[in-house]
Structure 1
Amino acid sequence: MDVNGSSAIISGGASGLGEASARELARAGATVVVADLNEERGKSVADEIGGVFVKTDVSDEDQVQAAVDAAVATGKPLRVVVNSAGIGWAERTVNRDGSPHNPATYRKVIEVNLIGTFNLMRLAAAAIAKTEPADADGQRGVVVNTASVAALEGQTGQLAYSASKGGIVGMTLPAARDLAAIGVRVNTICPGIIDTPIYGFSPNSEEFKAKLVAPVVFPKRMGRADEFAHLVRSLVENDYMNGEVIRFDGGIRFQPK
């Protein structure tokens, strides 16, 4: 699908993987809605790429709908959704002090990562369904969701995070089958260790990053956000990619911890 002249929504578009994806799709000619909680950074990114910023908590249905409405209001047909908003959390099922995992933190991670992804996918798809087909196949749009290799190989303390990302993986094929009726493709990327601001910039963070890179097969480094964005664009532009879960991890296989 050619995104030139269309609109796109990127959740988590103010930083990291989302920002890189927003910039890549803007370069391809899309008008991008940057949906993020970080108002200052989100507006800056949107201004730089000629897009629109909408302050969005993806777990809030009304705020997600506002982001979708903003995409429709651009006057460009909504064709692309990239779900990259998410949060992390580390806590054992039973902690070292003997206390059980806090259900409130578990629920929060599920609400943002899994339900947030579901919210944007379903509400945006409903808007995409109202557009005219973009090609002879009847294609109208593409959804790219972001999970994690932790969905497949969750480490110690990643119970909530792995459950949320595993849910995204699990709904990929059913969503693709559901949305085929309106000409929408759905794919999911499972990133490994990607160098984003989440790891910080202190000298200690570099030491930490070096440890993370150790299990990577090749190339022996962290992935880059622009490489992720390149994959997003490839999934959008390759019309036969549908219902797939793609590892993006340099061949890493997570150990228990």
Structure 2
Amino acid sequence: MQIQHTSAIVTGGASGLGAATAAALAASGAHVYALDLAQGIEQAPEVDGITYVATDVTDEEQVRDAVNQASTDMAAPLRVVVNCAGIGPSARILGRKGVHDLSLYRKVIEINLIGSFTVLAVTAEAIAQTEADEHGQRGVVINTASIAAYDGQVGQAAYSSSKGGIVGLTLPAARDLAQYGIRVCTIAPGIVETPMLATVSEEFRAGLAAGVPFPQRLAAPTEYAKLALAIVDNDYLNGETIRLDGALRMAPR
């Protein structure tokens, strides 16, 4: 699928994986709508080809408003959607303070899983109304899981649940949307050098990198972006979850 002269939506587009992906899509000729919370957008860099839209992915009306904005240019139809918005708090099911905060568990599921599904469904509705290309294609949606979907560690019950849901969503979503010419894939990153990791010590980051078989380092957000663009480019990739982890398999803790 061609990226040039199309529109794209990237959630969590103000930082980390989302920012790298938005920049890569814009550099490839797409008009990118980067959705993020207002406070995140305030810190986001100005990039040619990127329009920031304050959006809470757990709010269906805000999502619909953003999708409507991204769908107005008939000369640049909405073709690409990348879901990067998410949170990753840590808490044990039974900890020193008692049972896992159920409201926290619900929040993680609502943002990571239900938020991704909301964006997937609402954007699919808009993409389905566009004119297909000569191959019957209309678009591709890329969701973000995590290797925690497979190798969840101590304290990752909520996060792993949400990301496991993304993996489980991938194939049925691809099958549901096949009749509209919309592909669905998922990327499951390992440990990525994101702003979240910038708050920990260099020693801690080095310890994380040492556990990766090869290359023995943390992933860069740009490597996620490159894979997202490769999925868009390869029309036969559909219904698949791709691990991007340097062959890492997480230990229990």
> Do Structure 1 and Structure 2 share a fold, with TM-score over 0.5?
yes
2:27 alignment partner AA: R
Alignment partners' CA distance in 2, 1:83 and 1:222: 21
Alignment partners' CA distance in 2, 1:193 and 1:74: 37
1:229 alignment partner AA: A
1:190 alignment partner AA: A
Structure 1 position 42, deviation (Å): 5.9
Counterpart residue number, 1:17: 17
DSSP-derived class of the 1:143 partner: strand
Unpaired runs of 5+ residues, structure 2, are: none
Residues 23 and 50, structure 2, Cα contact 8 Å, conserved in 1: no
Structure 1 position 66, deviation (Å): 1.3
Alignment of 1:78-157 (within 5 A): 78-97=78-97, 99-136=98-135, 138-157=136-155
Counterpart residue number, 2:211: 215
DSSP-derived class of the 1:171 partner: helix
Alignment of 1:10-49 (within 5 A): 10-39=10-39, 41=41, 44-45=44-45, 47-49=46-48
Counterpart residue number, 2:54: 55
Alignment partners' CA distance in 1, 2:160 and 2:244: 16
* TM-score, length basis structure 2: 0.96
2:35 alignment partner AA: A
Alignment partners' CA distance in 2, 1:94 and 1:8: 42
Encode CA deviations 1:130-189: one digit per residue, 9 max, x unaligned. 0000232x1100000000000011000000000000000000000000000100000000
Alignment partners' CA distance in 2, 1:180 and 1:16: 30
Alignment partners' CA distance in 1, 2:103 and 2:175: 33
Moved over 6 A (4+): none
- Return the match for 1:170 from 150, 163, 168: 168
Alignment partners' CA distance in 1, 2:69 and 2:111: 21
Structure 1 position 70, deviation (Å): 1.2
Counterpart residue number, 1:67: 66
Residues 187 and 241, structure 2, Cα contact 8 Å, conserved in 1: yes
2:225 alignment partner AA: A
Structure 1 position 226, deviation (Å): 0.6
DSSP-derived class of the 1:90 partner: coil
Structure 1 vs Structure 2 CA RMSD: 1.3
Closer, same or farther: CA 131–43 of 1 in aligned 2, 3 Å: farther
Alignment partners' CA distance in 1, 2:41 and 2:52: 10
Closer, same or farther: CA 78–43 of 1 in aligned 2, 3 Å: farther
Residues 12 and 35, structure 1, Cα contact 8 Å, conserved in 2: yes
**Is 2:161 the counterpart of 1:200?**
no
Alignment partners' CA distance in 2, 1:213 and 1:200: 14
1:148 alignment partner AA: S
Residues 30 and 49, structure 2, Cα contact 8 Å, conserved in 1: no
DSSP-derived class of the 2:94 partner: coil
Alignment partners' CA distance in 2, 1:60 and 1:77: 24
Structure 1 position 215, deviation (Å): 1.4
**Is 2:214 the counterpart of 1:230?**
no
Count of residues in correspondence between the two structures:
252
Structure 1 position 102, deviation (Å): 1.0
Encode CA deviations 1:7-51: one digit per residue, 9 max, x unaligned. 000000000000000011111110000100045636854x41222
Counterpart residue number, 2:235: 239
Unpaired runs of 5+ residues, structure 1, are: none
DSSP-derived class of the 1:107 partner: helix
Residues 41 and 52, structure 2, Cα contact 8 Å, conserved in 1: no
